[in-house]
């Protein structure tokens, strides 16, 4: 049986700060508007972390089964690839994580909507099931969408729109389309992290038949696409601040633009895809920093 340390490695803790960035942004807006609820925050955080860990387990499983994880892989070695966890163990690990995550989601929906908002409760139940399915289907199965260049779309939707806007709606039960702007920001930056991952693995993915968006576009267009993602993320959150500005504290997150600018410079100058691996962590942490500073500004 795999040890706890091995499961922690399979959970890929370095991906977790990015996954909770949307919850921090959506929750901080709720704080600023006096709509925050600590139990909703805790359950949303637990559900999001569960989804991310489930996705990491599923990616490990799916890429191993399809032969994508091989000696040409540039990033950190996966646990199935290295033999630290068996296929059977990982399968049951996914099942267990999916069940726990679903229970957190049910509790979150009940606390947010109770029995008086059946329509919204059903809507978010469907979203929760869809999020679990998306976490698994990225690399698993004949119709795995990560192998058809659709990963960016799902990341944008679930990390950005659902993560930020969906989280805010759980507090407020109101449609406020301005909140879509910071949701777009987190969505674009999250898609940027995935794009970097796919830029790094482009050659190996192409040989393994994993047709990511980068494989379809080619290296040069993937770089241009990356610039568009980062610049669009910055533009969206600045526009939100322009529409809702109340004081200089609202602009604390501008500090996070500094590492983003250096990141763009390094990507622009890069000629060896394997050297993009450190940029994955840097962009994820820059996104987390932006979320924290944005949230602090909203609270202040």
DSSP string, 185-242: HHHHHHHHHHHHHHHHTHHHHHHHT---HHHHH-HHHHHHHHHHHHHHHHHHHHHHHH
Task: Write the burial class of residue 6 (CB in 10 Å: 0-12 exposed, 13-18 middle, 19+ buried).
Answer: middle
CA separation, residue 247 to residues 49, 296, 300 (Å): 32, 13, 9
To the nearest 5 percent, what fractions of the chain are helix, strand and coil? Answer: 80, 0, 20
Contacts of 2 (CB under 8 A, 6+ apart): 10, 79, 84, 85, 86, 89
Q: Are 173 and 121 in contact (CB under 8 A)?
A: no
pLDDT value, residue 78: 66
Tokens matching residue 68 = 């994508």
Rounded to whole angstroms, the Cα distance separating 157 from 207 reads: 28
- Per the CB < 8 A criterion, the answer to whether 15 and 284 are in contact is yes
Tell which residue, 37, 47, 275, has the closest CA to residue 172. 37
Q: What pLDDT score was predicted for residue 77? A: 63
Digit-by-digit pLDDT tens for the chain (300 residues) are 558 888 888 888 888 999 999 999 999 999 999 999 999 999 999 999 999 999 999 988 888 887 776 555 555 666 777 778 888 999 999 999 999 999 999 999 999 998 888 999 999 999 999 999 999 999 888 788 988 889 999 999 999 999 999 999 999 999 999 999 999 999 999 999 999 999 999 988 888 888 999 999 999 999 999 999 999 999 999 999 999 998 898 999 999 999 999 999 999 999 888 889 999 999 999 999 999 999 999 998
**How many angstroms separate the CA atoms of 21 and 70, rounded?**
31
Residue 72: the pLDDT is 57
Report pLDDT for 8.
85
What lies within 8 Å, CB to CB, of 199 at 6+ separation is 214, 219, 222, 223, 226, 273, 276
User: Which residue reads 């100058």 in tokens?
Assistant: 269
Q: If you ran DSSP here, which 8-state letter would residue 247 be given?
A: S
Report how far apart, in Å, the C-alpha atoms of 114 and of each of 30, 34, 118, 128, 266 are.
Answer: 19, 20, 8, 16, 49
123, with CB counted inside 10 A (0-12, 13-18, 19+), is: middle
94 with 61: CB under 8 angstroms?
yes
Decide: 287 and 195 in contact? Cβ < 8 Å: no
Residue with tokens 């940029």: 279
Report the pLDDT value the prediction gives residue 88, as an integer from 0 to 100: 92
């Amino acid at each position: 049986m795999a040890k706890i340390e091995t499961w922690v490695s399979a959970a890929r803790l370095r991906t977790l700060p990015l996954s909770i960035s949307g919850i921090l942004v959506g929750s901080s807006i709720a704080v600023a508007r006096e709509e925050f609820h600590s139990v909703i925050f805790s359950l949303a955080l637990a559900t999001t972390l569960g989804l991310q860990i489930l996705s990491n387990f599923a990616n490990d499983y799916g890429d191993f089964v399809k032969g994508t994880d091989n000696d040409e892989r540039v990033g950190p070695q996966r646990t199935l690839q290295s033999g630290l966890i068996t296929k059977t163990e990982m399968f049951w690990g996914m099942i267990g994580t999916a069940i726990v995550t679903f229970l957190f989601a049910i509790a979150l929906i009940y606390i947010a909507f109770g029995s008086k908002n059946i329509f919204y409760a059903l809507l978010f139940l469907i979203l929760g099931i869809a999020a679990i399915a998306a976490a698994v289907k990225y690399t698993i199965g004949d119709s795995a969408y990560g192998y058809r260049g659709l990963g960016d779309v799902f990341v944008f939707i679930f990390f950005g729109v659902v993560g930020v806007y969906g989280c805010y709606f759980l507090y407020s039960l109101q449609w406020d389309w301005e909140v879509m702007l910071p949701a777009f920001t987190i969505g674009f930056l999250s898609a940027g992290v995935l794009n970097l991952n796919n830029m790094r693995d482009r050659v190996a993915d192409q040989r393994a038949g994993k047709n990511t968006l980068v494989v379809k576009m080619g290296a040069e267009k993937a770089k241009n696409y990356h610039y568009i993602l980062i610049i669009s993320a910055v533009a969206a959150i600045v526009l939100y601040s322009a529409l809702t500005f109340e004081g200089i504290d609202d602009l604390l997150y501008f500090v996070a633009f500094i590492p983003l600018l250096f990141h763009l410079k390094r990507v622009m100058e890069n000629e060896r895809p394997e050297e993009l691996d450190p940029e994955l962590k840097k962009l994820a942490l820059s996104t987390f920093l932006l979320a924290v500073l944005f949230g602090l500004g909203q609270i202040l």
